[in-house]
Amino acid sequence: MSDHVPTESGGSLDLPDADVGSPVRPPIIERVIRPQDADPKRADRAERWIALMFLASAAGTVAFVVFYLAIPSLHTIGQVHASNVLLGCSLAVSLGGLGAGMIAWVRWLMPAHESVQERHELAASDDDLETAAQVIMAGLEETGLARRSLLKRSLGLAMGLFALPAVLLLRDLGPLPRKSLDTTLWKKGSLLLNAETGEPVKLGDLEIGSFTTVLPLKVDDPLMNEEELSKAPVLLIRLEPGLNKPAPGREGWDFEGHVAYSKICTHVGCPIGLYQKQSHKLLCPCHQSTFDVPRACKVVFGPAARALPQLPISVNSNGEFVATAGFDQPVGPSFFERS
């Protein structure tokens, strides 16, 4: 037992009663003697337990292979379920056995002595710092940048510009927004088509307290791509007669208690499918923005700041609902260019 323990860097650690241990290993400052260190029989027993864990792992691996092959095809959900549970659990045993065994091996059999190691000063010596700084300066001197300002400035220009192509190549990632966000496929004369069947909605199809989702064109129409489909859905709602209070300038936008509003929430764009018939409110399920249908869908709760855009509707001679014009404003979330 020595008091001064030599360290790698040539210094020494002052550790009373330190045990150097093996000279190629870090010095030990606390010897820990566990029951199994003192008694070889216990150590053997620990070894057997660890072996059991490794064997369990092997068994788990075999089980995985068996289960994988035993369920050759997945036709029913029951088979998928069984496969998932069996494969997952056998994998867990296979990996867990290895993990537990390795951890147990360290804790029970490998030496548990506490070793100590000195931290080297991270910073280099003052001389090294000075030398490094001088190397940098000497190299800079060799570049001649300090003297040659023409070189420096032209280099600056070239370096400053050279990355521009990379930025410019991104231009065709997407089209310029232009007016695309301002318009939808709805226009004067668009029939209100049932979103599922594509059939025009007729007067009398909806009962009082009903609402349905309508589109200006069928879903498989060539003009109806995904982008237009994200702006086109409209809710046709039938209110009790006399309930609707049209906003100024919107008299005639409703028809016999039927009103049509954009389905796309003006907060961040979720479709609003939630109509509470008794309170005549539309509730967006994403962030709980609530719109008062009889009052031009103005916002009564939640983070949306704009009322839902209204689609003016009427009924044609065939009894089918038609839009008498497109939307008078962009639908969906607000954006900077929207007034």
Partner 1 sequence: MTTMKPGSRGADKPTDKPGAKPAPKLVKKGLGEVDDRFGTAGFLKRNLNKVFPDHWSFMLGEIALYSFVILLLSGTFLTFFFRPGTNEVIYQGNYTPLRGLHMTEAFASTLRISFDVRGGLIIRQIHHWAALIFMAAIVAHCCRIFFTGAFRKPRETNWLIGVGLVSLGLLEGFAGYSLPDDLLSGTGLRIAYGIVEAIPVVGTYLGSFVFGGQFPGPDFIPRLFTIHILLVPAILLSLITAHMLIMWHQKHTQWPGEHRTNNNVVGAPFYPAFMAKTGGFFFATFAVTAAISGLVQVNPVWLYGPYNPMQVGAGSQPDFYIGWLEGSLRMMPNLETHVDGHTISWNVLIPAVVLPGILFTAMAMYPFIEAWVTRDYAAHNICDRPRNRPGRTALGVAVLTELGVLLLAGGNDVLSEKYDISLYATTRIFQLAFFVLPPLAFMATRRICLGLQRRDVHSAEHGYETGRIVMLANGEFIEVESALPEDVVARMGLEYRQGPPPPLEPAVDEHGVRSRLRHSAIEKVRGKLGDYLYEQDAEPPPNGHGGHANGHALDGSDHEQPKLTTGSDD
Partner 2 sequence: MIVGGLLAIGSAYGFVTARPGVAAAGNPNESVLQGKALYLQGCSSCHGLAAEGGTDAPSLIGVGAAAVDFQVSTGRMPLQQQEAEARRKPPRYDPAETAQLAAYIASLAPGPSVPSKDQYTPTDADMALGGNLFRTNCSSCHNFTGEGGALAYGKSAPSLRNSTDQQIYEAMLTGPGTMPVFGDRQLTPQQKQDIIAYVQGMKAEPDPGGFSLGRAGAVAEGLVAWLAGVGVLAGVAMWIGARARRAT
Q: Which one, 6 or 285, has the nearer CB to partner 2? A: 285
Q: Which residues pair with 282 in a beta bridge?
A: 275, 291
What is the C-alpha separation between 227 and 272, in angstroms, rounded?
17
Considering only residues 208-267, where is the footprint of partner 1 by CB under 8 A?
213, 226-227, 229-231, 233, 263, 267
Q: Which is nearer to partner 1, 300 or 325 (CB)?
A: 300
Residues between 86 and 105 that touch partner 2 (CB under 8 A): 88, 99, 103
- The answer to whether residues 307 and 298 touch, using CB atoms and an 8 Å cutoff, is yes
Is there binding between residue 68 and partner 1 (CB under 8 A)?
yes
Which one, 107 or 153, has the nearer CB to partner 1?
107
Q: What separation, in Å, do the N-terminal and C-terminal C-alpha atoms of the chain show?
A: 84
DSSP string, 257-320: TEEEEESB-TTT--B--EEETTTTEEE-TTT--EEEGGGTTEEEESS--SPPPBPPEEE-TTSB
Measured from the CB of residue 282, what is the shortest distance to partner 2 in angstroms?
10
# residues contacting partner 2 (CB under 8 A): 46
Binding of partner 2 by 275 (CB under 8 A): yes
Query: Which of partner 1, partner 2, none interacts with 281 (beta carbon under 5 to 8 A by kind)?
Result: partner 2
Interface residue with partner 2, options 133, 157, 208, 247 (CB under 8 A): 208
Nearest residue (CB) to partner 2, 17 versus 141? 17
Q: Which residue has the tokens 């005639």?
A: 252
Among 134, 288, 319, 335, binds partner 2 (CB under 8 A): 288
CA 145 to chain CA centroid, Å, is 47
Instruction: Write down the least CB distance from residue 237 to partner 1, Å.
Output: 15
Q: Please, which residues have CB within 8 angstroms of residue 254's CB and are 6 or more apart in sequence?
A: 244, 246, 313
112 vs 325, beta carbon nearer partner 1? 112
* Contacting partner 1 within 156-215 (CB under 8 A): 170, 173-177, 180-181, 195, 213
| CA–CA gap between residue 53 and residue 96 (Å, rounded) | 8
Q: Using CA atoms, how far apart are residues 221 and 180, in angstroms rounded to an integer?
A: 19
Identify the bridge partners of residue 234 per DSSP, sorted by sequence position: 214, 262
* Binding status of residue 290 toward partner 2 by CB under 8 A: yes
Neighbours of 169 (CB within 10 A): 9
Q: With CB cut-offs between 5 and 8 Å by kind, which of partner 1, partner 2, none does residue 95 bind?
A: partner 1
Give the gyration radius of the chain's Cα atoms: 38
Residues 93-122 binding partner 1 (CB under 8 A) are 93-96, 98-103, 105-106, 110-112, 114-119, 122
Judged by the rule CB under 8 A, the positions of this chain that interact with partner 2 are 32-35, 37-39, 77-78, 80-81, 84-85, 88, 99, 103, 106-107, 112, 195-196, 204-213, 271-279, 281, 283, 285, 288, 290, 301
